[in-house]
Amino acid sequence: MSVAKQMLQVAQNAKRASQTLASLSSAVKNELLQQMAQALLNHTEALIEANEKDLVAARVAGLAPAMIDRLALDAQRIRGMADGLREVAALLDPVGEVTGMWRRPNDLQIGRMRVPLGVIGIVYESRPNVTADAAGLCLKSGNAVILRGGKEAIHSNLAIGKVLKSELERMRLPAAAIQIIETTDRTAILELLKLEEEIDLIIPRGGEGLIRFVSENSRIPVIKHYKGVCHTFVDASADYEKAEKICINAKVQRPGVCNAMETLLIHQDIAETFVPHIATAMRAQGVELRGCKTTCEFAADVQPATEEDWYAEYLDLTLAVRIVANLDEAMEHIRKYGSLHTEVIITRDYENSQRFLREINSSVVMVNTSSRFSDGNQFGLGAEIGISTTKLHSFGPMGLEDLTTRKFIVLGDGQIRT
């Protein structure tokens, strides 16, 4: 069978399964997730064995140690996957929630009810835990899921998929609710991305290259984020101690992730005192600074920043620093160079805090806290299926609710239109 036909069959089976999933009760879905968690633990040895095949191939192919680390499964990581499924079981089921209901002059009652999206395709890279995490979130929200992981992790993903699917079968639920694509050929992705009649949403998870590839080739809606160039603006009225604590946390606590700070903007009125202060504190944490001209004047050991630095997502201990004339210039900089991910203002000024909150239209806008909180779990959404920096459907960290849509329900009593 051609890859195109295989993918069509996968998608059609998923669509059929999604109809059953959409009307499962929360109790059944939670029971399923609990059983799956237990099954993963019970199959720890088999999963590690399958993973070993991927690791051997990875070493032969000479993959980088960081990549091999992301790929590796051990008992602890398998426990992590099981815990993840149990956490999702504990989340409130969004399906069936009526988010509002109102009465019209003719006595029709109009409401909006959350329903699953239907079929969700996840295209990801080398982390095998995404297989269990994404499957759990999709099932809990009543969606069928098609999982297409990286070829480096194919044995691990298939093994995890087999364990999860056996629980579907044991509970007499459609096995096509979770499907792992076995073809590691990239044409399989291209074929999937054409099936707009069967698949409702594609979520790519991985590097910018993968995300651009998916986005440029998909006829199906894609929710994505390319990068996180997060800004912190220290306003003239900022409390220095809080500002320092927040900036250090935003840059240093975990520099390799998308919600870490990449550019620090400082109000010119405090530059002379705050720049040397924060420069010393950053250097003590091993952070290398790249600054505008004024920054370089006020602190030693700062490399001059180039235009590219303002666009850079360093993902390491490097920080761009720029002095701005005022709030407007800070907001202008963010609009020009930002990636719509997360922006922070540190201020004691009420008016400036409100203007920043209202006028910066990035997906997350914060006052007086660290950009590192920009995360579905930290926001209380539960586990995160992804982050969106495009505005359609979802904007910012995405939880269960973002895997649903709302239909209109209308309760009548014989009304007709005249």
Min dist CB 157 to a second copy, Å, is 26
Q: State which of positions 94-133 bind a second copy (CB under 8 A).
A: 96, 102, 104, 108, 110, 113, 115-118
Distance separating alpha carbons of residues 18 and 172, to the nearest angstrom: 14
The count of other CB atoms within 10 Å of the CB of residue 297 is 13
Distance separating alpha carbons of residues 271 and 292, to the nearest angstrom: 12
Nearer to a second copy, 162 or 245 (CB): 245
Nearer to a second copy, 132 or 403 (CB): 403
Nearer to a second copy, 152 or 244 (CB): 244
Min dist CB 199 to a second copy, Å, is 11
Report if residue 366 touches a second copy, rule: CB under 8 A.
Answer: yes
Q: State which of positions 3-32 bind a second copy (CB under 8 A).
A: 19, 22-23
Min dist CB 309 to a second copy, Å, is 21
Burial of 202 per CB tally in 10 Å (0-12, 13-18, 19+):
buried
Q: What dihedral angle (degrees, nearest 10) is formed by the CA atoms of 272, 273, 276, 279?
A: -110
Question: Which among 70-78, 161-169, 283-291, 384-392 is the span making contact with a second copy, rule CB under 8 A?
Answer: 384-392
Report if residue 172 touches a second copy, rule: CB under 8 A.
Answer: no
Query: Which member of 246, 261, 305, 319 binds a second copy (CB under 8 A)?
Result: 246
Min dist CB 92 to a second copy, Å, is 13
Q: What is the DSSP letter of 375?
A: S
Q: State which of positions 203-222 bind a second copy (CB under 8 A).
A: 215-216, 219, 221
Query: Measured at the alpha carbon of residue 389, what is the angle toward residues 387 and 391, in degrees to the nearest 5?
Result: 115
Min dist CB 244 to a second copy, Å, is 10
**Do residues 400 and 94 touch, judged by C-beta distance below 8 A?**
yes
Distance separating alpha carbons of residues 375 and 341, to the nearest angstrom: 11
Q: What is the DSSP letter of 149?
A: -
Q: What is the DSSP string of 85-144?
A: HHHHHHSPP-TT-EEEEEE-TTS-EEEEEEEE-SEEEEEE-S-THHHHHHHHHHHHTT-E
Report if residue 74 touches a second copy, rule: CB under 8 A.
Answer: no
Q: How far is CA 275 from the centre of its chain?
A: 33
Which residues lie near a second copy (CB under 8 A)? 19, 22-23, 96, 102, 104, 108, 110, 113, 115-118, 200-201, 215-216, 219, 221, 239, 242, 245-246, 249, 253, 335, 357-359, 361-370, 372-374, 378-380, 390-393, 395-397, 405-418
